[in-house]
């Protein structure tokens, strides 16, 4: 077999095996370079897999040569390819940009271990995305979560510790709920392979345990994905994590949990349980709408810059769920496209915040008064990404909102209400982004405050690359839209 055929396994194996190597490198620069190399290699593999999948083939890879359903199967289709691009891309971008920022926040002697943790997060998240086995998902979820706790706890503020403890408790409860659900399904079907489960659930006579399992799995993953009102861990974890870690996490960690939620729900439950689509929509659409409204309102009143963006993330998760809750081709497409676009937008915004963090000790909105004149390039990139968050035409954010509104309009009267909420929350986004822009450009720097120098070139250049990617995918959205449409088709399957 050629090496190309092994790519699905290598996607996980490369970062996972590099992690212990990096931990033993005592030179932080070398550890960083090794991590970056592994991450870049993972990104290259993700691109290669995406190109294969775009040709209309989905890849099934039997681990160790054991055929499904007895062995563990890795399954790559358009949905997983899109998520792989997001995960490996965000990791590579953050690492490439972040050396200087990490040097400020992480003690030099701890950096090799920190980077080993980073690679484990990457391996875990990629593992969740490539695997087609329900229990495998649990194991990778815990690998990535445990390593994430470590990265977040590395933040310079002591409040990082209390927020990571909260994150650990809620994350573990979420994962355990998922485990209970998988156990109940295994009890009734005798399989852990997702595709096989979908075939066998139809033959189960007593569906009560399956319904209970669906509840546990949905709740567990909703906790992991920070779906409103289960988002309590997210704002503080994002706020007190090291700036570069926030870039990585905000771009992909909640999206991967949503990926599992959608995949599980649509592949396993949707076709087999009577009226499941109605229950799915009836449960998630109200939560999504509430999340959009409450997240945006909280962002409007928030004073800490990073927490403001974190609350906006809660609202964005609502958009993704709202699209998925429509249970239609357009709806799912819009949700999945938004996973990609929101990763670009939030990645760029948090990178700009990391630039600000290079010269500012504290990151409250009031602290950046007048910074627009001292750090013009950083703030310009922030504005560009902010426009994408609002959804101005020509940016990536517009594309996903456009699809979402089209999907909502298919839903009749309820759809009009959904459109009103989407537009209302976009206006709220204008308010909170404008508050930052106004303070930065029109506020006066306090007398005696330090003069801010522009951020170092690498981080600034990559912030701009991420911001310009928002423009590029706003003007040429073919790649994410094509992948998302393919993914939505595959998820809906028979229902179409």
Q: Is the peptide bond before 69 cis (omega within 30 degrees of 0)?
A: yes
Other CB atoms within 10 A of residue 400 CB: 32
What lies within 8 Å, CB to CB, of 435 at 6+ separation is 300, 365
For residue 183, the minimal CB distance to other proteins (Å) is 5
Minimum Å distance from CB 73 to other proteins?
A: 16
CA angle 141, 143, 145 (to 5 degrees): 65
Between 138 and 432, whose beta carbon lies closer to other proteins? Answer: 138
Is residue 142 part of the contact set for other proteins (CB under 8 A)? Answer: yes
Distance CA 197, CA 185 (A): 8
Cis peptide bond N-terminal to 308, omega within 30: no
Comparison of 242 and 331: residue with beta carbon closer to other proteins: 242
Question: Of 131 and 333, which has the nearer Cβ to other proteins?
Answer: 131
Kindly state whether residue 149 participates in binding other proteins, applying the rule CB under 8 A: yes
Residue 23 interacts with other proteins (CB under 8 A): yes or no: no
Q: Taking CA 90 as the corner, what is the angle to CA 86 and CA 95, rounded to the nearest 5 degrees?
A: 155
Q: How far apart are CA 325 and CA 127, in angstroms?
A: 26
Q: Interface with other proteins by CB under 8 A: which range of 151-159, 295-303, 309-317, 467-475?
A: 151-159
Kindly tell me which of 176 and 279 has the beta carbon lying closer to other proteins. Answer: 176
153 binds other proteins (CB under 8 A): yes
Tell me whether residue 89 or residue 242 sits nearer to other proteins (CB atom). 242
Give the residue with the Cβ less far from other proteins, 135 or 283: 135
Nearer to other proteins, 194 or 387 (CB): 194
Smallest gap, in angstroms, from Cβ of residue 259 to other proteins?
20
Binding mask 91-130 for other proteins (x = CB under 8 A): ----------------------------------------
Q: How far is the CB of 22 from other proteins (least distance, A)?
A: 19
| From 9-17, 45-53, 83-91, 137-145, span contacting other proteins (CB under 8 A) | 137-145
**In contact, 237 and 163? CB cutoff 8 Å:** yes
How does DSSP assign 316-371, residue by residue?
A: HHHHHHHHHHT-SHHHHHHHHHHHHHHHHHHHHHHHHHHHHHHH-S--BGGGGTTH
Stretch that binds other proteins, among 56-64, 72-80, 138-146, 284-292 (CB under 8 A): 138-146
Binding to other proteins (CB under 8 A): which residues in 162-221? Answer: 162, 164-165, 168-169, 172-173, 175-176, 179-180, 183, 186-187, 192
279 vs 255: CA distance, rounded Å: 22
Asked if 146 interacts with other proteins (CB under 8 A), we say: yes
Measured distance CA(127)–CA(84) in Å, rounded? 9
Q: Give the Cα separation of 13 and 7 in Å (integer).
A: 9
Any idea which residue has 């861990």 for tokens? 233
**Residues sharing a CB contact under 8 Å with residue 366, sequence separation 6 or more, in sequence order:** 303, 439
SS3 call for 233: coil
Among 9, 30, 139, 406, binds other proteins (CB under 8 A): 139
Return the residue of 45, 102, 150, 294 that touches other proteins, per CB under 8 A: 150
CB of 232 to other proteins, least distance (A): 12
**Using rule CB under 8 A, residue 158 touches other proteins:** yes
CB of 145 to other proteins, least distance (A): 9
Eight-state DSSP code of residue 5: G
Phi-psi region of 339 (alpha: psi -120 to 50; beta: other; left: phi over 0): alpha
Using the minimum distance from each CB to other proteins, give the nearer residue, 138 or 233: 138
Considering CB under 8 A, how many residues would be counted as binding other proteins? 26
CB of 74 to other proteins, least distance (A): 18
Q: Is residue 161 a contact residue for other proteins (CB under 8 A)?
A: yes
- Nearer to other proteins by C-beta: 84 or 234? 234
- The backbone region for 398, taken as left when phi is positive above 0, alpha when psi lies in -120 to 50, beta otherwise, is alpha
Main-chain phi, psi angles of 131, to 5 degrees: -80, 150
DSSP designation for 133: B
Residues within the interface to other proteins (CB under 8 A): 135, 138-139, 142, 146, 149-150, 153, 158-159, 161-162, 164-165, 168-169, 172-173, 175-176, 179-180, 183, 186-187, 192
């Amino acid at each position: 077999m050629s090496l190309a055929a092994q790519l699905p396994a290598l996607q996980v194996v490369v970062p996972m095996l590099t992690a212990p190597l990096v931990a033993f490198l005592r030179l932080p620069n070398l550890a960083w370079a090794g991590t970056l190399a592994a991450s870049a290699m993972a990104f290259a593999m993700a691109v290669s897999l995406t190109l294969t999948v775009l040709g209309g083939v989905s890849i099934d890879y039997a681990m160790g040569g054991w055929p499904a359903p007895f062995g563990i199967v890795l399954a790559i289709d358009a949905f997983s390819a899109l998520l792989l691009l997001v995960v490996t891309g965000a990791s590579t971008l953050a690492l490439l940009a972040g050396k200087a920022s990490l040097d400020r926040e992480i003690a030099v002697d701890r950096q090799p271990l920190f980077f080993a943790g980073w690679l484990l997060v990457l391996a875990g998240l990629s593992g969740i995305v490539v695997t087609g086995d329900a229990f495998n998902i649990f194991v990778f979820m815990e690998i990535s979560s445990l390593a994430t706790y470590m990265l977040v706890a590395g933040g310079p503020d002591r409040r990082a510790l209390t927020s990571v403890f909260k994150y650990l408790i809620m994350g573990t409860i979420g994962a355990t709920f998922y485990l209970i659900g998988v156990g109940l399904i295994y009890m009734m079907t005798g399989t852990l392979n997702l595709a096989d489960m979908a075939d066998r659930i139809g033959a189960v006579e007593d569906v009560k345990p399956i319904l209970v399992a669906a509840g546990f799995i949905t709740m567990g993953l909703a906790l992991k994905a920070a779906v409103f009102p289960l988002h309590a861990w997210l704002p503080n974890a994002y706020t007190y994590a090291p700036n570069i870690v926030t870039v990585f996490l905000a771009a992909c960690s909640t999206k991967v949990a949503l990926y599992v939620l959608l995949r599980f729900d649509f592949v396993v439950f949707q076709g087999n349980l009577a009226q499941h689509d109605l229950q799915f929509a009836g449960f998630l659409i109200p939560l999504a709408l509430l999340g959009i409204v409450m997240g945006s309102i909280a962002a409007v009143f928030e004073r800490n810059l990073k927490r403001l963006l974190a609350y906006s993330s809660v609202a964005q998760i609502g958009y993704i769920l709202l699209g998925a809750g429509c249970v239609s081709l357009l709806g799912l497409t819009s949700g999945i496209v938004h996973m990609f676009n929101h990763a670009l937008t939030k990645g760029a915004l948090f990178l700009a915040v990391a630039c600000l963090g290079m010269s500012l000790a504290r990151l409250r909105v009031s602290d950046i008064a007048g910074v627009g004149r001292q750090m013009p390039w950083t703030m310009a990139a922030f504005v560009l990404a902010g426009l994408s968050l609002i959804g101005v035409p020509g940016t990536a954010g517009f594309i996903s909102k456009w699809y979402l509104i089209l999907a909502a309009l298919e839903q009749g009267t309820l759809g009009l209400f959904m459109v009103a909420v989407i537009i209302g929350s976009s206006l709220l986004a204008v308010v909170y982004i404008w508050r930052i822009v106004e303070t930065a450009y029109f506020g006066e720097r306090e007398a005696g405050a330090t003069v801010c120098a522009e951020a170092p070139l690498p981080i600034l250049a990559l912030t701009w690359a991420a911001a310009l990617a928002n423009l590029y995918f706003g003007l040429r959205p073919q790649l994410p839209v094509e992948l998302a449409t393919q993914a939505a088709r595959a998820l809906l399957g028979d229902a179409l």
